[in-house]
């Protein structure tokens, strides 16, 4: 069994809630397996997923339910959809200004976790918010501290820390962890996707956008139509989806 970092084991022993941010992707899936292997009991785990509805991969919720076992599962939803946000702003979010992440994922997840913690006083107001970011993914992620006190979410009576339990795991480790637990990753990986995020992510590679376009024609048409209507592209490169993928809408 891998060891928990000292500070995290103190939170576990104090009965803190471990909130597993689950996207349905491979990293979230491996993170939950790893948490259990590190000795976090199911009685202290809750799974939370930000559901982006129509812009997510089909089967996300089912995949999460099938792989988490018998622990509570919260689905957090924003008041607006991704495409409504784009229409309202007349532009897509950019990697530097990811309103999609802050407004559609992080905000709703934090709101639901605050509610859950309030409803469950047995956790003593302590929460370890677990996210599946890995150093190997990007230079920015490599620089992130793996454990940090979240000051904006901590108030009197609520002690919140953010933890990246699989920060050091490689791409290979992630898949090995999933298969060693007798599980399979989401079906979209088998269809050729390298990452599982929104079907059409602002940060996706050309290859992923092409696979996604071929597998989700109706949604693709809506993204292409949106690009043309607002005169702004999903990709920071300024190239439209049809130009990037070579797939006519
Ligand atoms: S997956 Fe990509 S497009 Fe979707 S919310 Fe995250 S950064 Fe934005």
DSSP letter for each residue of 11-60: HHHTT-EEEEE--SSHHHHHHHHHHHHTT--GGGEEEEEE--GGGSPTTH
Which ligand 1 atom sits closest to the C-alpha of 197? 1
Closest residue CA from atom 6 of ligand 1: 101
Instruction: Give 103's DSSP letter.
Output: I
Q: Is residue 231 part of a domain?
A: no
What's the pLDDT tens digit per position in 84-97?
999 999 999 998 88
Percent of the chain with pLDDT over 70: 100
Rounded to whole angstroms, the Cα distance separating 85 from 224 reads 16
Q: pLDDT at position 184, please?
A: 98
Q: Is residue 184 part of a domain?
A: no
Ligand 1 pocket member 203 (CB < 6 A): yes
Is residue 118 within a helix (H) or strand (E), and if so which, with residue range?
helix 107-119
* 24: containing domain: 6-172
| Number of domains into which the chain is organized | 1
- CA 148 vs. chain centroid, Å, equals 18
Ligand 1 pocket member 98 (CB < 6 A): yes
Going from the Cα of 99 to the center of ligand 1, the distance in angstroms, rounded, reads 9
Q: pLDDT at position 1, please?
A: 57
Q: Dihedral, CA atoms, 72, 148, 27, 86, nearest 10 degrees?
A: 90
Q: Is residue 19 part of a domain?
A: yes
Q: pLDDT at position 189, please?
A: 98
Low-confidence ranges of the chain (pLDDT < 50): none
Going from the Cα of 246 to the center of ligand 1, the distance in angstroms, rounded, reads 22
Report the residue among 54, 104, 198, 234 best suited for mutation to probe ligand 1: largest number of ligand atoms under 8 A from its CB: 198
Q: Is residue 188 part of a domain?
A: no
Q: Kindly report the number of other CB atoms within 10 A of residue 213's CB atom.
A: 24
Q: Is residue 245 part of a domain?
A: no
CATH number, domain of 42, equals 3.40.50.620
The token pair that represents 25 in the structure block: 């992707």
Which ligand 1 atom sits closest to the C-alpha of 203? 2
Which ligand 1 atom sits closest to the C-alpha of 105? 5
Composition of the chain by helix, strand, coil, percent to 5: 45, 15, 40
Ligand 1 pocket member 169 (CB < 6 A): no
Is 204 within 8 Å of 238 (Cβ atoms)?
A: no
What's the pLDDT tens digit per position in 23-41?
999 999 999 999 999 999 9
Going from the Cα of 60 to the center of ligand 1, the distance in angstroms, rounded, reads 15
Phi, psi angles (nearest 5°) of residue 47: -100, 140
Rounded to whole angstroms, the Cα distance separating 221 from 141 reads 32
Q: Is residue 160 part of a domain?
A: yes
Ligand 1 pocket member 78 (CB < 6 A): no
Q: Is residue 76 part of a domain?
A: yes
Closest residue CA from atom 2 of ligand 1: 201
Ligand 1 pocket member 202 (CB < 6 A): yes
Q: Is residue 35 part of a domain?
A: yes
Ligand 1 pocket member 213 (CB < 6 A): no
Range 152-177 burial, b when 16+ CB lie within 10 A, else e? ebeeeebbbbbbbbbbebeeebbbeb
Q: pLDDT at position 39, please?
A: 96
Going from the Cα of 6 to the center of ligand 1, the distance in angstroms, rounded, reads 33
Going from the Cα of 43 to the center of ligand 1, the distance in angstroms, rounded, reads 31
Is 49 within 8 Å of 20 (Cβ atoms)?
A: no
pTM above 0.75, yes or no: yes
């Amino acid at each position: 069994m891998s060891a928990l970092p000292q500070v995290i084991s103190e939170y576990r022993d104090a009965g803190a809630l471990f909130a597993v941010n689950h996207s349905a992707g491979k990293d979230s899936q491996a993170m939950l397996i790893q948490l259990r292997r590190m000795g976090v009991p199911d009685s202290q785990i809750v799974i939370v997923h930000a559901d982006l509805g129509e812009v997510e991969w089909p089967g996300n919720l089912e995949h999460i339910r099938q792989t988490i076992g018998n622990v509570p599962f919260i689905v957090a939803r924003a008041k607006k959809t991704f495409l409504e946000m784009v229409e309202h702003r007349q532009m897509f979010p950019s990697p530097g200004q990811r309103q999609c992440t802050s407004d559609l994922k992080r905000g709703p997840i934090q709101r639901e976790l605050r509610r859950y913690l309030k409803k469950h006083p047995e956790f003593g107001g302590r929460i370890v918010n677990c996210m599946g970011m890995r150093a190997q993914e990007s230079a920015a992620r490599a620089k992130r501290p793996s454990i940090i006190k979240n000051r904006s979410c901590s108030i009197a009576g609520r002690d919140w820390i953010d933890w990246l339990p699989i920060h050091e795991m490689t791409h290979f480790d992630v898949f090995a962890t999933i298969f060693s637990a007798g599980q399979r990753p989401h079906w979209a990986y088998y269809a050729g996707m390298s990452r599982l995020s929104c079907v059409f992510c602002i940060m996706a590679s050309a290859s992923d956008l092409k696979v996604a376009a071929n597998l989700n024609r109706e949604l693709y048409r809506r993204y292409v139509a949106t690009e043309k209507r607002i005169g702004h592209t999903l990709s920071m490169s300024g190239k439209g989806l049809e130009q990037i993928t070579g797939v006519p809408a």
